[in-house]
Every structure is written in structure tokens, then in C-alpha cells.
Amino acid sequence: MTRRYFGTDGIRGSVGTHPITPDFMLKLGWACGRVFARQPEVGGRPTVIIGKDTRVSGYMFESALEAGLVAAGVNVKLLGPMPTPAVALMTRTQNAVAGIVISASHNPYQDNGIKFFSAQGTKLPDAMEQAIEAELEKPLVVVPSDRIGKVTRVADAAGRYIEFCKATVPEHFSLRGLKIAVDCAHGATYHIAPNVLSELGAEVVSLGVQPDGFNINAGVGSTDTAALSELVRESGAVLGIAYDGDGDRVLFVDRDGSLVDGDELLYIIASHRLHRGEADAGVVGTLMSNLGLELAIESLGLEFVRARVGDRYVKEMMELQGWTLGAESSGHIICADLTTTGDGIVASLQVLLAIQDSGRSLGELRAGMRKCPQTMINVPVTGKVELRGHAGIASAVRETEAQLGDRGRVLLRPSGTEPLVRVMVEGEDAGQVSSLCAALAERVEAALAS
């Protein structure tokens, strides 16, 4: 069955443009309620958890989803603004049949979307997404009045999640004496991350903790770390931590203001676990992971496997390999021995644990991995594009690969969340990589426009 609405990470788009509209969300809530209610493990009236980030449109979609769910006979528990991984956690601990997150992650406030978690706190299987789409084609019918669901709010959700995050590090772990800058992107971690770090003893200087519904990810957060770099240098912090709008991504900034990306963070965590005798046979990256990460992981004596881009595919590959650690360059880091999905706060604590255990700085720990020059250019597109079978694009890629020889890579990938084709070139010479990527992006754009 071809999916009309679900992408690689739920449903996402511009607010007010179908399907990101109140009427569709009402129908979506009803369709989800119908599917979730007939899961084999459901006993009695099922409950669905709803959390959201700080976008102004979240209020509108929360109400619409809530109405649809209760119309299908499902109870609802509202968390309010909470990080995506917190919704996954609460779905499990509240014995809910599913969790829903209203968020467009790192996108600007004009966008919004819906993510789903199963009762186990994992991404929904494809079969369940297809079942929801099938229900969307049916007329909405409200259950009898005595079966309409009820809605409650979970008042202590933030406190529960803060305690969970702190419990992912050893009891003796302390951040006392460290000044840490944290950027919450005016998003869902604004009332969580600073408290986690301060309760573990750190002196916290905060940025992006005043959401107004419109400023999420605007010049702050993991997609724009310039302000955090400046704060780190000005405040004298030992490092900075940047989360994205819904808290499932994290990037670091070193004391000199330089960015430390998801590849480097994965290397640091994997190396630390190896030295503690806790490493698996290998770790999972993606097609976009830097070649330097692969070489560094292999130098540790570990295996490195690439998955398709998208945290759900990273998790699937981790399960296939039987490993507990995987990540994307963008900062989606999954520690499956600690939680069920990518969690920016949990991952950041693992990096801080590596720093504290080793007695070395972030800069010293990242030095074990040498990144290969990599350039990526986003080419805007209209609608979905099919790159395979496009003769002009295939020819451009072959010519670029020929110039790189066996010391580089080329990757073209349509974004699963934005109307873009990502053009990536990687090699040993930064100047060559940059010029080849620019030329290839121009040819891809021209080919798609013709």
C-alpha cells in the first residue's frame, strides 16, 4: 500500500496547508484511535499520550487530535510541552497504547507535524501506519456517548522525565565545578535540560529558554549554533550543548566555540564505552556519516555499519546487528541500553560522563577522530522526486565520482522531512570537495527543473 501522508518521521508540513490543518488532525486523531484501540494488548479503555513542542500551532492541533481520539472511544493524557523522547518514555510508563508528539522538530514555527510512538516507546511499524491511512479514507463515526473517551493532564510529567534522565548516569556522577552553556532552541527542552544539568551540579548559563510560540529554532538550537558558540566564549563555559526544537537531537560546542557534531559525539561515546569494557561489537551510522567516523571506529577495533538516513532506520539496523549505539551526523544519538529512541539529553549526559571519567576535555576526546572534508548542498524541489533512473543526474554523479577516485564519496538523497534533495560530496581535499559539490548541485537542480 502506498502511503499518502506518512514520511520517514510521521507527518509534517506547513501549517494551514493540507494535511497540516485542524480538520485533518481531527480525522487523524479519530483514525489513530480506531487503530490503537484494536491492538491485541489493549485491555479495557485504551489511553493515548499527547505531547508537543512550543509552536503556537500546537494548541490548535492538540485540541483537534484530542477531539478525534475521544470520538473514537480512547482516553487521552496531555503532557503539554515535552521533548519527543519524554513522550516515548511516558507512553511506556503510563501503560498507554500509543504516544503522539506534535512537532516539526528542527523546522521553523510555520511548520508542524505529528510523530507517533508504539506502546513500547518505539516508532510505529509500517503496518500500523498503513492501517491508520486506511481508516482516514472512511467516514468519521462517533462512538456512543457512554464510550466517549476522557481527557486528563499529567501534571508532573516534567519532573518524572528529569529524574529519568538523571538516572541514566551513575549515582556518583557529578558536574560540580563545571560551567556549561545550554541552548534549548526555545523548544521543548527549555524547562527540562537546564534543570537536569543544574541538579547534577553544573553551573548552567542558558540560551533559547524563552519560547513565545514563534521563536522555536530561530537563530538558536542545534541547527544554528553561532549564538551558543558566542555564549560559550563570553561566559567562559567549558562547553556548550545545543538541542533542537523537540529535544531528540544534540550537538556540542567546544570551549573555543567550534562545533562538535553527531559523528564526533558518537565516536566519543563509543570510545568511552570501549574503555569501560561496555562496548558492543560495533556501532551504526548512516549514509551521511563522515568517512572519518568510519575509520576512527574501525581503529578502535569496532565494526561500523551504515543505515539509511533517518533515526528509525538507524534503530532498525541496531536491532538487526544486536548493538545498542547508533547515531546520525545531525545529532540523533540512540543509546538503546538506556532508552528506546533518540534522546538529546540522555546522549549529552553520556558525553559528559565520558569527559568526567577520562579527565580529558571535549577537545581532547574529539581529537581521536579526524573528519574528512565533506560538503552538502540542499537543492530545493517541488513535490516528491525520483532520482533513480534519471540519466542526467546519473551522468553527473559518475563524472564527480571519477574525479574523486577511490578516496571520496558522493551521495544524493531526497529529504524525508523537507522539500529538498541533499547533495553530498566527501573526500580528502577540502577545496576539491567544495567545488565538486557546488558543480554537482547545479547540475542536479538543472536536471530536476527540466
What are the tens digits of pLDDT across the range 366-399? 999 999 999 999 999 887 777 887 889 999 999 9
DSSP 368: T
Indicate whether 244 and 293 sit together in one domain: no
Per-residue pLDDT band at 4 (split at 50, 70, 90): confident
**pLDDT at residue 113 tops 60:** yes
State the residue range of the domain holding 278.
Answer: 260-343
401-407, long-range: CB within 8 Å, 24+ apart, which pairs? Answer: 403/432, 403/436, 404/432, 404/436
pLDDT at residue 1 tops 60: no
Same domain, 281 and 390: no
Catalytic residues: 105
Q: Are residues 149 and 169 both part of a single domain?
A: no
Are residue 35 and residue 109 in the same domain, yes or no? yes
Give the CA angle between residues 234, 369, 264 to the nearest 5°: 55
Give percent of the chain above pLDDT 70.
98
Q: Check whether 27 has a pLDDT greater than 60.
A: yes
pTM of the model: 0.90
- Residue 355 resides in a domain: no
Is pLDDT above 60 for 74? yes
Segment 166-194 shows an average pLDDT of 97
- Confidence check: pLDDT of 16 > 80: yes
Residue 358 lies in a domain: no
Does residue 202 sit in the same domain as residue 149? Answer: no
Lowest mean pLDDT among 126-130, 280-284, 300-304, 389-393: 389-393
Query: 380 and 333, same structural domain?
Result: no
Name the one residue in this structure whose C-alpha cell is 558536574: 175
Q: Amino acid identity of 415? A: S
Write the DSSP symbol of residue 10: B
Residue 231 lies in a domain: yes
Is the residue at 293 inside a domain? yes
Give the single-character DSSP code of 216: T
**Cβ distance 212 to 234 under 8 Å?**
no
Residues 182 and 147 in one domain: no
| 271 and 251 housed in the same domain | no
Classify residue 5: in a domain, yes or no.
Answer: no
User: 433: domain CATH number?
Assistant: 3.30.310.50
Mean pLDDT score across all residues of the chain = 94
Residue 1 belongs to a domain: no
Q: What digits encode the pLDDT tens for the residues 208-254?
A: 999 999 999 999 999 999 999 999 999 999 999 999 999 999 999 99
Q: What is the mean pLDDT of residues 179-183?
A: 98
Are residues 196 and 88 part of one domain?
no
225, 284, 277, 285: which is closest to 253 by C-alpha?
225
Q: 151 and 19: one domain?
A: yes
Whether residue 335 lies inside any domain: the answer is yes
> Which of 110-124, 268-282, 367-381, 415-429 shows the lowest mean pLDDT across its residues?
415-429
| Domain-located, residue 232 | yes
User: Domain holding 54: CATH number?
Assistant: 3.40.120.10
Domain count for the chain, please give it. Answer: 4
Q: Give the HSE-up count for residue 32: Cα atoms under 13 Å, Cβ half-sphere.
A: 34
Identify the weakest region by mean pLDDT among 6-15, 52-61, 323-332.
6-15
